[in-house]
């Protein structure tokens, strides 16, 4: 597995736009993670699906720590950017049901107080996945490894 990841890293050359995108996404994740732990805890709890059998506050705090960790890794581990990009993309996919739940249950948070606004928000999760894969070179590395 390690040698496969090393090969993927070599197939993902860095560029100024990708590096800027990776660092920008990392900064956004760190800030979002901090808000999970502080000022936006209640709003983030509104996105935790009712069917999830965990305490909402625990989920918000844990996801905040994960976001801070992933954001920091995007910035601090450029030699592991492909692996980090794949993990960040998987994280964005894993939390997508919370966004869907917010729409289905008509839960207002973050100013998303209509179905139209909550539905429009759903568009951005796939864009975050693409951003993570593009800015880390993971998309290109995986394609080139085939």
The neighbour count for residue 75, using CB atoms within 10 Å, is: 16
In-domain check, residue 2: no
In-domain check, residue 94: yes
Q: What pLDDT was estimated at residue 7? A: 60
Q: What pLDDT was estimated at residue 11? A: 57
In-domain check, residue 27: yes
Tell me how far apart the terminal alpha carbons of the chain are, to the nearest angstrom. Answer: 16
Residue 85 and residue 88: Cα distance in Å, rounded? 5
Nearest to residue 62, comparing CAs of 99, 91, 38, 33? 33
In-domain check, residue 113: yes
Q: What pLDDT was estimated at residue 12? A: 64
Tens of pLDDT along 62-84?
A: 999 999 999 999 999 999 999 99
In-domain check, residue 5: no
Instruction: Report CA Rg, the chain.
Output: 16
Tens of pLDDT along 104-141?
A: 999 888 889 999 999 999 999 999 999 999 999 999 88
Spatial CB neighbours of 17, under 8 Å, sequence gap ≥ 6: none
Q: How many domains does the chain have?
A: 1
Residue 75 and residue 32: Cα distance in Å, rounded? 15
* 112 vs 89 pLDDT, higher one: 89
Whether the per-residue pLDDT at 2 is higher than 70: the answer is no
Q: What pLDDT was estimated at residue 67? A: 98
């Amino acid at each position: 597995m390690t040698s496969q990841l090393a090969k993927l890293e070599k197939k993902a050359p860095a560029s100024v736009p990708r590096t800027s995108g990776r660092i920008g996404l990392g900064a956004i994740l760190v800030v979002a993670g901090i808000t999970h732990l502080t000022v936006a805890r209640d709003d983030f709890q509104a996105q935790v699906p009712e069917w999830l059998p965990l305490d909402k506050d625990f989920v918000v705090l844990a996801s905040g720590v994960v976001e801070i960790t992933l954001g920091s890794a995007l910035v601090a581990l450029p030699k592991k950017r492909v692996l980090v990009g794949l993990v960040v993309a998987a994280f964005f996919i894993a939390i997508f049901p919370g966004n869907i739940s917010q729409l289905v249950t008509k839960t207002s948070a973050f100013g998303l107080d209509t179905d139209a606004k909550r539905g429009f928000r759903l568009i951005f999760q796939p864009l975050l996945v693409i951003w993570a894969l593009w800015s880390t070179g993971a998309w290109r590395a995986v394609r080139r490894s085939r």
